[in-house]
Amino acid sequence: MFRRRRLRSSEYMRALVRETSVSVDDLIYPIFVVEGENQKNPISSMPGIYQYSIDRIDEELDRIREAGVKGILIFGIPAHKDEVGSEAYNEHGIIQEAIRHIKKVFPELIVIADICLCEYTSHGHCGVIKDGEILNDETLPLLARTAVTCAQAGADMVAPSNMMDGHVAAIREALDEADLKTVPIMSYTAKMASGYYGPFRDAAHSAPGFGDRKTYQMDYHNPREALRDMWDDINEGADILIIKPGLAYMDILKMASQETDMPLAVYNVSGEYSMVKAAAANGWIDEKRIVMENMIGFKRAGAQMIITYHALDVAKWIKEGY
């Protein structure tokens, strides 16, 4: 008789036969940096996550160092927004200055800069606008300048999240021309137009002022289109692909791992975090168990890297043997 239970008999036995694991090395922690002084602003829809001003960020860096997390994804929130998102590509903008500071106080930390305009535009869209339309090709040079200024400030990687067509190629070309040939591009490749980004838009003040992002982010009904989009990014020179959101898109992640040989990251986005936090705060779920199950789900589906707001907790739970 088959007795599968033979190999489930004790914690040590289960550990020996385990097929998948998650390591602290896999984790990337998103952080929000806001212009101004002495700011540590809680984000009400994301308990435990704050916007920090540069003069308060060391406190967060200490927590990251202590957790052993090796990468952060950084978002800037400027004091002034305009139609064309000028602060995104100001070499002394909030994200550029934050990167300089972080690389000075914590040089080994892998700092990944989000490359988008929506936190910087007065209308909250990820591209420039004319007559109510989000323009693609006119946006590309601005994204390229954003990437170059972030890399010049010391970013170890750039992560374009704007979903304009051709953005990876435009950024690669601009980085190469600026003698930043060694800076990798971690591209949000299958980024769906998703309701799961709601809490992030509170955190980054980046909700679109009119309409939605459906003309540039992907339609979540289309897995085969997601694959085409991945190949576009690969051909344009992406070094790492991001699948986003995570939980509802495990099939896309699995497909990416089977159909490409690219390093893969999954973004366990804000709405996924908020749902877990809300249920846990009500005592309806066991937060640690649920979060670790989600992490292993991402690993099973093929992610090497997990971008998650839970990163510091996960690091601690891994060390404790969860």
Binding site for ligand PBG (CB under 6 A): 114, 116, 118, 126, 161-162, 197, 200-201, 206, 213, 269-270
Minimum CB distance to ligand PBG smaller for 118 or for 155: 118
The stretches of 106-192 forming alpha helices (DSSP H) are 140-152, 167-177
User: What is the closest distance, in whole angstroms, from the C-beta atom of residue 8 to ligand PBG in the complex?
Assistant: 36
User: What is the closest distance, in whole angstroms, from the C-beta atom of residue 272 to Zn ion in the complex?
Assistant: 18
Q: Which does 114 bind (CB under 5 to 8 A by kind): ligand PBG, Zn ion, none?
A: ligand PBG
- Pairing, β 110-115 against β 71-77: parallel
Determine the residue with CB nearest ligand PBG.
200
DSSP state of 219: P
Q: Which does 125 bind (CB under 5 to 8 A by kind): ligand PBG, Zn ion, none?
A: none
CA–CA separation, 48 and 161 (whole Å)? 24
User: What is the closest distance, in whole angstroms, from the C-beta atom of residue 16 to ligand PBG in the complex?
Assistant: 36
Minimum CB distance to ligand PBG smaller for 161 or for 257: 161
Residue that the structure tokens 């540069």 belong to: 54
Among 54, 72, 98, 126, binds Zn ion (CB under 5 A): 126
User: With DSSP H G I counted as helix, E B as strand and the rest as coil, what are the percentages for the chain, rounded to 5?
Assistant: 45, 20, 35
**Side chain identity at 318, as an amino acid letter?**
I
Rounded to 5 degrees, φ, ψ at 226 are: -60, -40
User: What is the closest distance, in whole angstroms, from the C-beta atom of residue 115 to Zn ion in the complex?
Assistant: 9
Is residue 316 part of the annotated active site? The answer reads no
Q: Which does 229 bind (CB under 5 to 8 A by kind): Zn ion, ligand PBG, none?
A: none
Q: Which does 50 bind (CB under 5 to 8 A by kind): ligand PBG, Zn ion, none?
A: none
Is residue 191 part of the annotated active site? The answer reads yes
CA–CA separation, 239 and 183 (whole Å)? 9
Contact 55, 98 (CB under 8 A): no
Rounded to 5 degrees, φ, ψ at 319 are: -65, -35
List active site positions. Answer: 191, 244
